[in-house]
Chains A and B, each alone.
Chain A
Amino acid sequence: MTVLGRRRFLGLSGAALAGVLGASGCSRTSQQEAVTTAGADVIRWWDHFQPLKPLYERMFAEYGKAHPGTRVEHVVYNPSEMGQALQLAFKSNQIADVHTVAGLGSSEAALVAGGWFSPLADPDAIRAKLPADSLLEGLHVFDGKLYTFPVFTPRQYTTLTWINRELVEKAGGDPDAGPATWDEFRALAARITKDGGGRAYGWIQGLQFQERMQTHVTELAMSAGAAFAIIPGAGEMGLVDPRTGDYPYASEPFVQALEFLLSLVRDKVVFPASTSLDARTARARWATGVAGMFFDGSWNIGVVNGQFKQFAGKVGVGPVPSPDGEPVLYGAPAQGQLFVSSKSRHVEAASELLARCTGPEFSRALAGYMDQVPLDLEAVATADVHPTYKRAVELFGRNVRLAPSPVSRNPAVTQVISEMKEQRPTLGEITQGILSGEITDIGKSLREHNGKLTAERERATRVVSGKGVRVSLDDWAFPNWKRGEDYTAEMYRQ
């Protein structure tokens, strides 16, 4: 019998390990080669729309039937992981033919300039199926070439008042309309809390989710008269007063909006655990009947219908409450969601596939998922959806106007946004501080925040201008903007 010495054993183990690694390396290479070989018949599609997965897969199946031999490979990413996947795949030439841009943290203009996308083939066919004014230079069109188009509507907001009909009715409220004014909201919340006797409260919200609270405060401020020019995707750094181009956070509507929320806390009508909840957990608690009202977007009923079906029949919806009951909100021009990669060898096929995401039929199918609102609002009226979803979309159509966007005037402003550093505490964090009692002087904290953002934007503009880019603070102001009216594509050219 051969005796295996320690050194010999180690040597053999090392050789075996090297062999295994080498073999696995070979198999990986073979696998990659197989994918590449099969790539001639495969269009790869990456997005982050998990709730819409069945919709897209049905569309891909129909495309496959119409184009035998061509298959669409669909991957749905977690939004938080998508940016990293795209960066790595783009660098290594493995990016999908069609993809969204979630998590890249760059504007469409910067990505087009960076060579990420191909212009869409047969753009006229796509233009013909889109509503007028939905395509803007700097967002969808670059140097006259169409790169993308909006799939979701810009006419929507996140601060709809969702209602537990039973609790609201019991407290004497109107379960079909919801409270219209801040005073009505406050009074109704107080009555629900009183009737609840410690088991139900007037209002529940995910106060820990400060980014969402920032959105609610911004929309409540709009309902109180604030108006914005908006850079989509830029958060609070991209919201300015369209008349002056200045940041609006120190204005009276923001103070009033925060005082309204604070009054709910002081009235003790807020569900006690709200401070530790985010949007999802707040919705889950709301669906158990612990609170009468809850602010959320139109997708709320889609989630309730999917996860808390027994509660869906008790749900009603009203508009964002406002001081006078007649809110006017402004929506950012809708961004394009899907792009054809510059690395794609199937630009025509991918463009044809993308073109299927337009038109009333697609909008109706999209509405059926009660998630994001389709670009064509009228299609929702004939879609098979929960009545509250239809009402939410009606409210959007009635209350939301198109805001101007500095990006469409001068795409270089996105470079200023990229150069800007987040100013903390953010508006969402300030909101958290005010509602938790840590900040007592609302006006002062908003003025300071506004001042910091203004100084940071001036610094960033100087830096970007210093690189020879033509950009200035004038790009943010729209003197021809009119309150209560849509800012149309034509108005950019005036």
Chain B
Amino acid sequence: MSTMTRKAPAGGRLVPARRRGLAARIWAERWSYVFLLPTVVLFGMYTIWPIVSGLYYSLLDWNGLGAERPFIGLANYREAFGDPLFWKSLGVTLLIIAVTVPLRVALSLLVALVLNNPRLPLAKLFRTALFVPVVTTTAIIGVVMGFIFDPAGGPVNQLLLDLGIVDQPVDFLGDPATSLWTVMGVHMWKWFGITLVYWLAALQTIPVTVYEAARTDGAGGWAALRYVTLPMLKPFLIIIALLTAIETMQIFDLVLTMTNGGPFFSTLTTEVYIYQQAFAGTTPRLGYGAALGVLFGVFTLVFAAIQAVGLRYANRVRSSS
């Protein structure tokens, strides 16, 4: 409790802070509170208030505009639990996470290991090239990909036909069998660079001296990778995988512009379904959309909790190594 005491005046006794009144303590720290105020106000306005109002809206039967918005308790949540499209969308979201996260994490690690080699020519150019899609507007990528995968003259199909790999154009985005995989591929390409940057940053934390020691002990390139690099990256793996998973859950703009959740729900992610219910349906249902949003928020929180546990584990492993 050392932080709860203040320095005693010369020759005086230490006075525990908690004995002083709350008002006095606030007054004593008034400038701290004043400087905190903008953050508290902005955080309250743009984070706390939307969460609270979202929770409230989820208890209403409301289209989002009309004056009539009866309170219906948990009816929206009951409907969500029995809504096959909500579960379908959650399944699609989970499948995207399950497929793209391991692939993205593993592939970006491999590329990071290559690009981290100081003797590799044009390494900076490659890093930049891989990072460019990250800073490109997702909606634009979605629209452009529609042309790239166009079965009538799109460059991908043209290439496949020219190489004789297919004899009929493939309807990448219009066929339920291929649409989700195509979206996943584009999503991976779009965000590959950010995971790569995570790994490159992680690689910078390995001291050069450790490699020097390994070399002194006779370790070659492969042995250094296996016994130095990979073990020392292990703590980062959890964090990077979880960050990538949470990013992947936010795939809304890409899906909306590439397929709008179709064809026949094959790419219907939860975010797109929430949007359709809350804003884009024939009869918008903001209340129901808010309830779906709360449930999806809980789902995301579970991931965040895993992330927190993972982070603690990673720190422990790191400090022990």
Q: What's the Cα separation between A271 and B174 when bound, in Å?
A: 12
Q: Is B175 an interface residue (CB 8 A)?
A: yes
Contacts of B67 in A (CB 8 A): 91
Q: Is the CB of B152 within 8 A of A105?
A: no
Q: Is the CB of A105 within 8 A of B174?
A: no
Q: What's the Cα separation between A272 and B171 when bound, in Å?
A: 7
Contacts of A272 in B (CB 8 A): 151-152, 169, 171
Q: Is the CB of B174 within 8 A of A436?
A: yes
Q: What's the Cα separation between A436 and B266 when bound, in Å?
A: 11
Contacts of B283 in A (CB 8 A): 105, 418, 421-422
> How many A-B residue contacts, CB cutoff 8 Å?
74
Size range of the chain A interface in the assembly: 20 to 34
Q: Is the CB of A275 within 8 A of B264?
A: no
A406-434 contacts to B, CB under 8 A, are 418, 421-422, 424-425, 429, 432-433
Q: What's the Cα separation between A437 and B174 when bound, in Å?
A: 11
What 0/1 readout, one digit per residue, does chain B (35-64) give for beta carbons within 8 Å of chain A?
000000000000000000000000000010
Q: Is A207 an interface residue (CB 8 A)?
A: yes
Q: Is the CB of B264 within 8 A of A105?
A: no
Q: Is the CB of A106 within 8 A of B151?
A: no
Contacts of B285 in A (CB 8 A): 421
Q: Is A158 an interface residue (CB 8 A)?
A: no
Q: Is the CB of B146 within 8 A of A429?
A: no
Q: Is the CB of B85 within 8 A of A424?
A: yes
Report A40 CB to chain B, min CB distance, Å: 29
Q: Is the CB of B176 within 8 A of A437?
A: yes
Q: Which of these, A91, A275, A285, A418, contacts B173 with CB under 8 Å? A: A275
Q: Is A210 an interface residue (CB 8 A)?
A: yes
CB nearest neighbor in A for B266: A438
Q: What's the Cα separation between A104 and B284 when bound, in Å?
A: 10
With A272-B169, A273-B151 as known contacts, state yes or no: A210 contacts B282, CB within 8 Å.
no
Q: Is the CB of B263 within 8 A of A432?
A: yes
Q: Is the CB of A235 within 8 A of B151?
A: no
What 0/1 readout, one digit per residue, does chain B (152-178) give for beta carbons within 8 Å of chain A?
101000000000000001010111100
Contacts of B262 in A (CB 8 A): 208, 210, 432
B278-297 contacts to A, CB under 8 A, are 281-285
Size range of the chain B interface in the assembly: 20 to 34
Mark B residues whose CB is within 8 Å of A.
Answer: 63, 65-67, 85, 146, 150-152, 154, 169, 171, 173-176, 259-260, 262-266, 281-285
Q: Which of these, A83, A274, A422, contacts B282 with CB under 8 Å? A: A422
Q: Is the CB of B264 within 8 A of A436?
A: yes
Q: Is the CB of A429 within 8 A of B264?
A: yes
A–B Cβ pairs within 8 angstroms, 15 of them: A83-B65, A91-B67, A105-B63, A105-B283, A207-B263, A208-B260, A208-B263, A276-B259, A421-B285, A425-B265, A432-B263, A432-B264, A433-B263, A433-B264, A438-B263
Contacts of B150 in A (CB 8 A): 273, 276
Q: What's the Cα separation between A275 and B282 when bound, in Å?
A: 21
Q: Is the CB of B260 within 8 A of A106?
A: no
Report B33 CB to chain A, min CB distance, Å: 14
Q: Is the CB of B264 within 8 A of A274?
A: no
Query: Which of A104, A105, A276, A422 has the most B CB atoms < 10 Å from its CB?
Result: A276
Contacts of A106 in B (CB 8 A): 66
Q: Is the CB of B175 within 8 A of A436?
A: yes
Q: What's the Cα separation between A276 and B258 when bound, in Å?
A: 9
Q: Is the CB of A105 within 8 A of B66?
A: yes
Give 10 new A-B contacts, CB below 8 A, not counting A104-B65, A235-B282: A273-B151, A274-B174, A276-B171, A285-B152, A421-B283, A421-B285, A433-B264, A436-B263, A436-B264, A439-B264
Q: Which of these, A83, A207, A271, A421, contacts B152 with CB under 8 Å? A: A271
Q: Is A31 an interface residue (CB 8 A)?
A: no
Contacts of B281 in A (CB 8 A): 422
Q: What's the Cα separation between A84 and B169 when bound, in Å?
A: 43
Query: Which of B259, B262, B266, B284 has the most A CB atoms < 10 Å from its CB?
Result: B262
8 A-B pairs with the lowest CB-CB distances in the bound complex, closest first: A275-B174, A272-B151, A433-B264, A273-B152, A438-B264, A87-B65, A436-B263, A272-B152
Q: Is the CB of B264 within 8 A of A276?
A: no
Q: Is the CB of B176 within 8 A of A290?
A: no
Q: What's the Cα separation between A27 and B171 when bound, in Å?
A: 56
Q: Is the CB of B174 within 8 A of A207?
A: yes
Contacts of B264 in A (CB 8 A): 425, 429, 432-433, 436, 438-439
Report B249 CB to chain A, min CB distance, Å: 23
Q: Is the CB of B152 within 8 A of A436?
A: no
Report B65 CB to chain A, min CB distance, Å: 4
